[in-house]
Chains A and B, each alone.
Chain A
Amino acid sequence: MSTNDVSQTGQTRIATTTKTVLREAGIGIALIVLIVVFSTTTQHFLTASNVTNILTQVTINLILSIGMTFVILIGGIDLSVGSVLAFCAVVAGTVMTLPGLDPITAVILATLSAVAGGILFGLLNGFISACWAIPSFIVTLGTLNIARGAALQVTNASTIYSFPAAFNAFGSQTLYGIPLLFLIALVLVVAGWFVLTKTVFGRVLYGIGNNEEAARLAGHNVFFYKIAAFTICGAAVGIGAIVYMARLNIASPIIGIGFELNAIAAVIIGGTSLSGGRGSIVGTLLGACIIGVLANGLILLGLSDFMRQMITGFVIIIAVILDKYRERLTKA
């Protein structure tokens, strides 16, 4: 029995390592396949300007998805990110257009207030769901409405624009064809990856997502970690709001509708389990890229927006089905 045991675990180790690599590699391969398909079937897909275009389109969803990954990893979900993005944007927009501020101060204050707004809602989401043990699906469904209503109330449903010229210009700057805003998102990817893989904090988040009770009995303050995960998500939304403003040069209370669904889709396609405890930021990066590439490529193919939406829907479902198979493989 004992020799049996050892050889058995030896085999599973090799298999497990391969499978972990395969998990992310599989998503990477899917992305490469998509890129190859679109670059052979369309003329403009792999041109420099189109790549810049794709990266621009991916940026905001990627930023929101990074935050969403933290929440989904602990087994939660945040439906409020789209509305909170609008709320953060109008707060930041209001601050940025305050009379008598020099441009730099205005942008800094606006950024801080956007992030603060996001953190505020994150704290609220985390606190309510942790304190009363309410599913975050319901809590964030509530804050989704609160944030949207607040954004409309603050602005009286009007759009804010005429931001400092330098701020607007920054939003369309590129470095070797890579949008600066995308670089911001990449910095967040690296930060998120670092926190989740290299820190005690990240380790405990995975632990809670996998088995909350075991983590609690091992002496970890589950309450704190849950609030922290939602707060990180909120902060990411705040940054996302500023990036949105820099790109489109407006702040409106009706922006960001449905963004939460795109972010969730990116996280899921990236292989993070909706039940928590399993997934990675790298996967999320690839997931967001797949959504962006798919959207762009299908338009270049001449498909209607409606068709594009349908196909994206299928891709999400297929990704989850594939994930079920991967799960079964790792368990067998």
Chain B
Amino acid sequence: MSPSPSTNATVESLLELSGVAKRFGGVVALNGVSFDLRPGEVHALVGENGAGKSTLIKILCGIIQRDAGTITLGGASYDPHTPGDAKMAGIQVVHQEFNLLPYLSVAENICFEDLPRRRFGIVDRPALYQRARKALDAIGLEDVDVRRPVASLGVAHRQLVEIARALMGESRILILDEPTATLTARETKRLFAIIAALKAKGVAIAFVSHHLNEVFAICDRVTVLRNGRSVMTSDISATTPDQLVSNMVGRQLAAAMAATREVDKSGRTALSLRNLRHPSSTNESGVSFDLHYGEMLGIAGLVGSGRTELLRSIFAADLPISGSLDRDGKKVSYQSPKDAIRDGIGFVTEDRKEEGLILEMPIAANVTLANLKAVSRHGLLRKRDETKLTQQLGNDIKLKYGHPQDNASTLSGGNQQKVVLAKWLANNPRILLLDEPTRGVDVGAKAEIYALLRVLADKGLALLVVSSELPELITLCDRMLVMSNHRITGELQRQDFSEERILNFAYKDERSHEYQ
């Protein structure tokens, strides 16, 4: 895309990136990112999960180092090696994951980088509380006691404390990574007011968000990242949400999204949940629905609405505390994932690195992990069978790999996810539970995974798909359930799918709980 005909092109850039690249093993995270940040502007960074936003932020704040490209800050080369370097240079970051110390007080957290002290290094408590009070008041958190431990605060308040901490220092550049993800509407409004005030002071703000309405509400310019590259930079006034989305997903995926599928409506019921309740669920009546063979059923909802927990309780990764589960019309009570697997269920987990893959073991070992019986006899492994099975499945799912004995960590994100799928396919499942099946996957692989899932559904498998990307669910699913606060707040048939309807259901309970 061509750079925008900017209205304030005369303003000198504070931070300038050009051709920044970073790779982790075989995975290319960034592959040529260029953009600039001007004093007093709010610059949105948008892109799908895995587009490289987080990696970019980590490079800017010195957590990791770039492999190639140049970054200049105020005209001088900027090359932070530690987060301390970044702070010294006046760059503050509010991370998506919390970096708070849960058992210390709010005040200690806010002032942690520079605790006020008296002689002999003793912490000056009155000064500490005073400073923290001021910082919280500045962002309108008058009602929070600074002596409370952070662990006792709700998620939204923690996020605000984090922001207050970042605002403590006199920063020239503030990077906000998904700051509104856990905020309610009222707190979001408050945050936007703070951002406006900072902007007026001449601070350059990089704003990472999935919510395009926020981007259009408060940002001056926007840069779109796709697949590790910056594909477009534009003034907000010169672009539209549609243009941003099509740049985010790219042509390849747009085609995959357009593909449709004949749905076999006659599918028998594969799984039937009745009041199934996960231990962490606040909803006493649990969750009830039916899943049919040949169907792709989507579950939408905000993060924390209990979608992952629902899948985990079906799979007995966590044992449900009440309710029942019927499999092919027969009541079942799985005591461990082993039981669920034996009953033809597979579970592609949300977190590939923590739960899905064994990164430092060979691809072949990962593929056969859930069905070692198929490649062994009397407890002895038959490596030739294992290699054969891996190659065969690898072929079926278009896995790009070097050798079955290479470690899974050598693969790109998309191919790693395919290995997770292969692991379950090796078991010939009848039901597949998929939690964020394309998280951190590049666009090409995403399209291939969509095609693969469609083939599986056509073959008669029952697929239950959880995803935070609405376009993904809208593209893939035949039917959709929307969850909020561990309950199902809505059900939509394919012809009724729209982002607006889904979000309305997703926020249903949020709204009533917002001001508690």
A6-B400, A210-B358 given; A332·B25 CB < 8 A: yes
Determine the chain A residues whose CB is within 8 A of the CB of B31 once the complex forms: 1
> Could you tell me which residues of chain B, from 358 to 387, have a CB within 8 Å of some CB in chain A?
358-361, 365, 369-370, 372-373, 376, 379-381
* Minimum Cβ distance to chain A for residue B216 (Å): 31
Inter-chain contact B444/A2, CB cutoff 8 Å? yes
Query: Which residues A194-227 have CB closer than 8 A to chain B?
Result: 198-201, 203-204, 206-207, 210-211, 213-221
For residues 313 through 350 of chain B, which have their beta carbon under 8 Å from a beta carbon of chain A? Answer: 315, 317, 336-338, 340-342, 347, 349
Q: What's the least CB distance linking B278 to chain A, in Å?
A: 16
Please indicate the chain B residues that have their CB under 8 angstroms from the CB of A201 in the complex: 379
Q: Which of chain B's residues have a CB closer than 8 A to the CB of A258?
A: none
A177 contacts B by Cβ under 8 Å: no
Of the candidate stretches A8-16, A47-55, A62-70, A300-308, the one touching chain B is: A8-16
Q: How far is the CA of A201 from the CA of B365 in the complex (A)?
A: 13
Q: Which of A6, A206, A211, A219 is B370 in contact with, Cβ under 8 Å?
A: A219
User: Which chain A residues border B423 with CB–CB below 8 Å?
Assistant: 218
B354 interfacial by beta-carbon distance below 8 Å: yes
Q: In the bound complex, how far is the Cα of B405 from the Cα of A17, in angstroms?
A: 9
Contact residue among A206, A207, A219 (Cβ-Cβ distance under 8 Å from B338): A219
Cα distance, A204 to B359, chains bound together (Å): 14
Indicate if B402 sits at the interface (CB-CB under 8 A).
yes
Chain B residues 493 to 510 lying within 8 A of chain A, measured CB to CB, are none
Cα-based distance from A274 to B190 in the complex (angstroms) = 48
In this complex, how many residues of chain B approach chain A with their Cβ under 8 Å: the count is 47
Q: Given contacts A2-B444, A218-B423, are A9 and B370 in contact (CB under 8 A)?
A: no
| Minimum C-beta distance from A332 to chain B (A) | 7
Instruction: Kindly state whether residue A102 has any CB partner on chain B within 8 Å.
Output: no
Chain A CB within 8 A of B409 CB: yes
The number of chain A residues with a CB under 8 A from chain B is: 36
Contacts of A278 in B (CB 8 A): 360
**Contact at B406–A9, with CB atoms within 8 Å?**
yes
Residue of B357, B373, B402 ringed by the most chain A CB atoms within 10 A? B402
Partner of A13, one of B370, B379, B406: B406
A17 → B minimal CB distance (Å)? 7
Contact with A along B383-418 (1 / 0, CB 8 A): 000000000000000001111011101111001000
Structural contact, A10 and B358, CB atoms closer than 8 A: no
- Check A198–B26 contact: CB distance below 8 A: no
Q: In residues 142-160 of chain A, which contact B (Cβ within 8 Å)?
A: none
Which residues does chain B contribute within 8 Å of A210, judged by CB atoms?
Answer: 358-361
Known A-B contacts A12-B402, A200-B381; the reply to A211 vs B372 at CB < 8 A is no
How far is the CB of A174 from the nearest CB of chain B, in Å?
34
Known: A206-B361, A277-B361. 16 other contacts (CB 8 A): A1-B442, A5-B415, A6-B402, A8-B410, A12-B26, A13-B402, A16-B410, A17-B405, A199-B380, A203-B365, A204-B372, A206-B365, A207-B369, A210-B359, A214-B358, A219-B336
21 CB < 8 A contacts A-B:
A1-B31, A4-B28, A5-B412, A8-B26, A12-B26, A13-B403, A198-B381, A199-B376, A200-B373, A203-B381, A211-B357, A211-B358, A214-B355, A215-B369, A216-B337, A217-B337, A218-B341, A219-B370, A220-B369, A278-B360, A331-B25
